[in-house]
Structure 1
Amino acid sequence: MQNDGPEQKKVLKGPEVSRELFGGVLDFDAAGHYPGLELLNFVYCGVNEDILPQGDSVRILRRSHDFARRLVWDEGFADDPRRDTVLLGDKSAEETLRELLRCLQLEIPSGSKDPKWSRAHFFPYTPSLIHWDARDRHNKIGIERLYLRGGGALAYKILRTDKNLDRNRRIREGFQKLYAATTDSPLEMLAAFINDQSKKDSKPVEDEIEKQTGSNLDEFENVYREGTLKILEQSDTTSVAKVRAIMGWTALWLVLMQNKRARGRLKLEDAPIICDCGANNSQLRRVSQRCLQEVLDNIIDAVDQVEPNLPKARRNNIRSFFWATAAANGFLNAWRGRKHFTLSVDALEMIVLATIPSGRELPYERFVTEVLYEQLGIAIGRGAAEASGLVNSIDASIFEENEAQLAHQMIAAGLVTQYSDATRMVSPRNDA
């Protein structure tokens, strides 16, 4: 009997490696704001009223908004037969509509010029502006994944499989109420009309990426669920601010999770992410830069443990999801060049909305220690430095100054109210 030798082990592909490590597909092309947009597609483009359905799979009705996106970002739109049918040849109306829609573009942090229409997406100011990926193949619009690759599917799976039934119910109700104020707005009516002119699914599609995504893998998922609930239940915050916070919170949680699960795979102890909040200390800046490099190296090492034969480009795509998503959402100082961890005002506002209940305040010192460090694993001040052992190599006064600098920024942004020299309270801004 012929012996064919040992069976060759199958080489895992990039998405399979990412799912093994993190529960879902994290990819550079899907970095930045795309996970949040993908999440909202799952929430608001389902086929029934249960926006967080139980079961092994979900079905959605994808829409492309190709009419509006091509109107703004495709020179070839002039030959589209829908142009005369919808706009009736009114060039003035066409130009006005084009400029209005251009203002609704979802930011592309790395973009320096107008994108192709398939890369440009609308920010979901109203529910009818939520849309999927699409591209033009041989003069035929296809609805398919380009940038919505799976980060949002992972976030959605975590929310809909929450074992805390009361929290699951409240999150569902929060999403149902999120866009209530925009239902009859002129922008929603315009977006709905334009959406009707675009390519969309004729029947529900079962999403295979979400189906293969894992959830309930660790307790850190509850941090995401709790943050999402707090954002949705903010009573003095506008719907747009909540939507922006949901998208930012989703992105921030994904990169924090990516760091934690990579370290777990390597059997490394937890270590905080060190943020430089602008105290102009060169030592702290270098430490933060080294911290970023360590995070990225750990992701690569964890990938190599799962699949040593993964091509370098695929490894780098998984690693690059971290830095690109962090940079786009204010957790890194820049998209290009020498990078270090920081917290932008937008990131801080999102964290406050996600961690402090509506109508409540938290002393600033507790926010820095209990929220940023203990909940999220972000080191800013002396308390975090002492608890994590950073003071063994860095003078504690550097972290004190860093904490003071962050307080100044949050006071200026309206996120901290200083009642006296000894009393500073953190609370969400009142947008009402």
Structure 2
Amino acid sequence: MPDRSKAEVVFDLFGVNLEQQGRGYYVSLELLAIARGVYEVDPSALLDVGSDVVSYIRASHDFARRIAVNATIDPKTLAEAVDDEETLATLQALSSSLLVQIPGRRKLPSWYNTHLYPFVGELIHYDAAERRAAGTKRDAPKVPHIERYVFRDGGSWAYKVLRTDLDDSRRNGTRDGLLELVRDSESALGEIARSLRAHDDAKDTKPYEDGSESDIKIYEDRSPWPEYLRRGVNFIVSRAQLPRAKRIESLMHWVPFCLARHQLHLARSSLAQPSETVFVDFMKDATPLRRLSQDALDGFRKNIVNAIIARATTLHDDALAMGNESLALRYTRHMSQSAVGTGSPRSFFSETLAAVGALNATTGRRHFTMKPPMLEAIVSASLEPGSEEEFYSFCARLYEDYGIILDERTAGENDLTVDVDASVYERNSDAFRSRLAATGLLTQYSDATSIVHGEPR
């Protein structure tokens, strides 16, 4: 049997198995795939609070994804779907332009490592891989097969968080907003996607009964981030005046961000550490604030490693107390820096934040920032649709809710100007204000009055 002790430690600590392979946008893609699949079975069952078994259709979209990367396709299947080379070239250009861009990739990946951006409901799909058909020889060609490959339960965690929202009014509003995003668009792009899907090799012949969600633990008594996810998703999907693509983009960034911050919060609380302070740098040049941000990120990554080591040690001791020495030995493997230091859970945290634009880069010396799509997502998730807030009041709430510090007033009120002078924070808040204005999310009425709003103007 394979050694699953590391996954057991991670699952026990975070309530969900966080792996590097399922980082970043894959969290949102999995969430949307589940929501779309439930819609195809029974739209009224979306976010149903009454069942731990979620029934949904899994579409692979393997045909479109293989066309996008020019992968091998059975000539007969291709001839049935595409009239001529010119049509194929057009489909390749279209499908390749719809692929989700994964930061840090240096070459075009295989088709099952690529996913279509869910601009419309018909493009949303599940995960897949290449496997030999059951009962075939070892040298038999591999064929598309629906399964979890880069989807690693992050989206299932998010779906469960939304489904178990005890605020019925908000949950119903989130359900209605999600339905609007995942339903058939009846657009030209949707028609093309539906036609391509008809030629998939990997298809669900009946609804998939997913009971894995029942094992996921939300730990909302230990972390505020499940609640922030519920509130933020509700605000995002309820912005009916924004285009569907803009709401989808905000979900793509907000959901993984929440899971990564949830992971960090659980790690720090398990180590009896206070809630984290995230120093967000919007300036172009290096300052003491940037160094503080870099050091904080390094510390957070160490928190995750140390939390895993501590939890593995606890499980090891518990196994010994029960007289199970073989199980204790398995946990021993995860009780050192060398075993966990470069591990997948730590990489999930930093690479997820980098993917969604909450870090400046995917490699090298990194610090916290907010690239435009992430900035738009956090504003959209923090302000109720149709509302607005004074700039410094909004900055104060970013700190109060998310531990994000970026302006001189909030820093001064919370004794955070010891290592960084207030003038540096002031320059940073000016840069933040400029970013908001550039995205249409801030209106400056005078030198003293700036208003943040959730919809661009």
TM superposition score normalised by structure 2: 0.87
CA contact (8 A) 1:161 1:215 kept: no
Distance 1:230 1:320, change over 3 A: same
Q: Please state how far the C-alpha of 1:140 moved relative to its aligned partner.
A: 2.4
Amino acid paired to 1:45: G
1:411–1:13 distance in 2 versus 1, CA, 3 Å? same
Give the letter aligned to residue 76 of structure 2. Answer: P
Matched, 1:267 2:294: no
- Distance between the aligned counterparts of 1:211 and 1:146, measured in 2? 20
Q: Tell me how far apart the structure 2 counterparts of residues 163 and 126 of structure 1 sit (CA, whole Å).
A: 29
Looking at structure 2, the residues matched to 368 and 252 of structure 1 have their Cα atoms a distance apart, in angstroms, of: 18
Percent identical: 33
Match of 1:4? none
| Aligned match for 1:417, one of 443, 452, 455 | 443
| Match of residue 453, structure 2, among 417, 420, 427 | 427
Q: 1:26 to 1:388 in 2, by over 3 A?
A: farther
Q: Which residue of 1 aligns with 2:212?
A: 209
Change (3 A) 1:410 1:380: same
Structure 1 residues 191 and 65, CA, compared in 2 at 3 Å: closer, same or farther?
same
| Counterpart amino acid of residue 365 in structure 1 | Y
Matched residue SS, 2:417: helix
- SS of the equivalent of 1:59 reads strand
Name the stretch that deviates more: 349-358 or 278-287: 278-287
| Residues 106-143 of structure 1: CA deviation (Å, up to 9, x unaligned) | 11111122111110100001111111111122332211
- Residue number in structure 2 paired with 1:170: 173
SS in structure 2 of the partner of residue 75 of structure 1: coil
- The whole-number CA distance in structure 2 between the counterparts of 1:142 and 1:151 is 21
Name the SS of the counterpart of 1:131 in structure 2: coil
Within 2, Cα distance between the matches of 1:346 and 1:37? 16
Residue in 1 that maps onto 2:56: 60
* Contact 1:11 1:307 (8 Å CA) reproduced: no
Contact 1:179 1:239 in 2 (8 A): no
Shift of 1:339: 0.7
Give the deviation of 1:234 after TM superposition: 1.0
CA shift at 1:208, angstroms? 4.2
Q: Kindly indicate whether residue 392 of structure 2 is the aligned counterpart of residue 365 of structure 1.
A: yes
Q: Please list every run of 5 or more consecutive structure 2 residues that lacks an aligned counterpart in the other structure.
A: 133-141, 314-331
- 2:27 corresponds to which letter in structure 1? P
Distance in 2, Cα, partners of 1:344 & 1:33? 15
Paired position in structure 2 for 1:118: 112
Pick aligned residue for 1:161 from 164, 172, 189: 164
Quote the residue 1:5 is aligned against. none
Partner of 1:400: 426
SS in 1 for 2:51: coil
1:227 and 2:245 aligned = no
1:25 Cα deviation from its structure 2 partner: 2.0
Counterpart for residue 137 of structure 2: none
Letter in 2 for 1:159: L
Aligned length: 418
How far off its partner does 1:83 sit? 0.4
8 Å contact 1:41–1:131 — kept in the other structure? yes
Query: Greater CA deviation, 416-425 or 399-408?
Result: 399-408
Q: 1:52 to 1:315 in 2, by over 3 A?
A: farther
Distance between the aligned counterparts of 1:132 and 1:233, measured in 2? 24
Give 3-state SS (helix, strand or coil) of 1:206's partner. Answer: strand
CA contact (8 A) 2:16 2:216 kept: yes
Partner of 2:155: 152
Tell me what 1:318 maps to.
345
What is residue 13 of structure 2 aligned with on the other side?
A: 21
| 1:74 Cα deviation after fit | 4.0
Question: Any idea what SS the aligned residue of 1:147 has?
Answer: coil
AA of the residue aligned to 2:64: A
Distance in 1 (alpha carbons) for counterparts of 2:341 and 2:15 = 17
The alpha carbon displacement at 1:178 in A equals 2.6
1:307-357 superposed Cα distances (whole Å, 9 cap, x missing partner): 143553696100000111100111000011111111111111111111112
Alignment match of 1:36 (pick from 23, 28, 35): 28
Gapped runs of 5+ residues in structure 1? 1-9
Name the stretch that deviates more: 286-295 or 380-389: 380-389
Quote how far apart the aligned CAs of 1:98 are.
0.8
- The aligned runs of 1:58-137 (5 Å cut-off) are 58-77=54-73, 79-88=74-83, 90-137=84-131
SS in 1 for 2:220: coil
Q: Deviation digits for residues 281-323 of structure 1, max 9, x if unmatched?
A: 4211111110000000000011111114355369610000011
Instruction: State how far apart, in whole Å, the 1-side matches of 2:262 and 2:288 are.
Output: 27
Amino acid corresponding to residue 175 of structure 1 in structure 2: L
Q: Is the 8 A contact 1:161 1:216 kept in 2?
A: no
Structure 1 moving runs of 4+ over 6 Å: none
